[in-house]
Amino acid sequence: MTYAIRPVESELELVEAFDVMGAQFPKPLTHEDRHFTDLARRFPQDRSMMLVVEDEGRLVGGALAFRGGEADPGCDVTLRIIALVPEHRRRGLGRRLVERIEQEATRLGVRGIGLGADEAVGFYRRLGYRGKGGMYKALPLSSHDDPGSRRRALEELRERRRARLQGH
């Protein structure tokens, strides 16, 4: 199997990716679910953290994250959903997806990654996430000291406020 991990290409593909991932849970989720709303709002700005896995052109899973956290919207990334269809699990793809989101979040100067974990707590623990229910991992500090990344984070925050005020 030749896997390709790449960012979601379009809003339409974001919907498809969420539905494929959502179908992997005991209580399936679809993009009609409120959990999809934040992702759609952050597309395409945070597209680099919205990833799909393809196996010979077929979408077999992915991980979708965006900037914005419950506690501190300017500083955190939320990993909203990660899932692979069963026959592609336990091959290291979940780890690759999370690590790629972490790299991208670090590049963007984000402080840490939070997620709500009802399932697969053991998986997240292996990747360094801590907590119960709400899990969190702090990212390396180096990029936070980069004034460029602080400026970008601030601009980002302003842009979000502007969008909110304009009712988007």
Ligand X SMILES: CC(C)(COP(=O)(O)OP(=O)(O)OC[C@H]1O[C@@H](n2cnc3c(N)ncnc32)[C@H](O)[C@@H]1OP(=O)(O)O)[C@@H](O)C(=O)NCCC(=O)NCCS
| Contacts to ligand X by CB under 6 A | 24-25, 81-84, 89-95, 119-120, 122-123, 126
Which distant-in-sequence residues (6+ apart) come within 8 Å of 48 by Cβ? 7, 104
Q: CA-CA distance, 118 to 109, in Å (whole number)?
A: 28
Q: Nearest approach, Cβ of 17 to ligand X (angstroms)?
A: 13
Smallest distance from ligand X to CB 152, Å: 28
**Least Cβ distance, residue 131 to ligand X (angstroms):** 14
Query: CB-wise, 6 or 90, nearer to ligand X?
Result: 90
Closest approach, Cβ 80 to ligand X, in A, equals: 8
CB 17 within 8 A of CB 52: yes
Residue 75 or 127 with smaller CB distance to ligand X: 127
CB-nearest residue to ligand X: 94
Q: How many CB atoms lie within 10 A of CB 62?
A: 27
Characterize the bridge pairing of strands 3-7 and 76-84: unpaired
Residues near 2 by beta carbon (within 8 Å), at least 6 away in sequence: 55, 56
Identity of the residue, 86 or 163, whose beta carbon is nearer to ligand X in the bound complex: 86
CB closer to ligand X out of 124 and 160: 124
Contact 143/109 with Cβ under 8 angstroms? Answer: yes
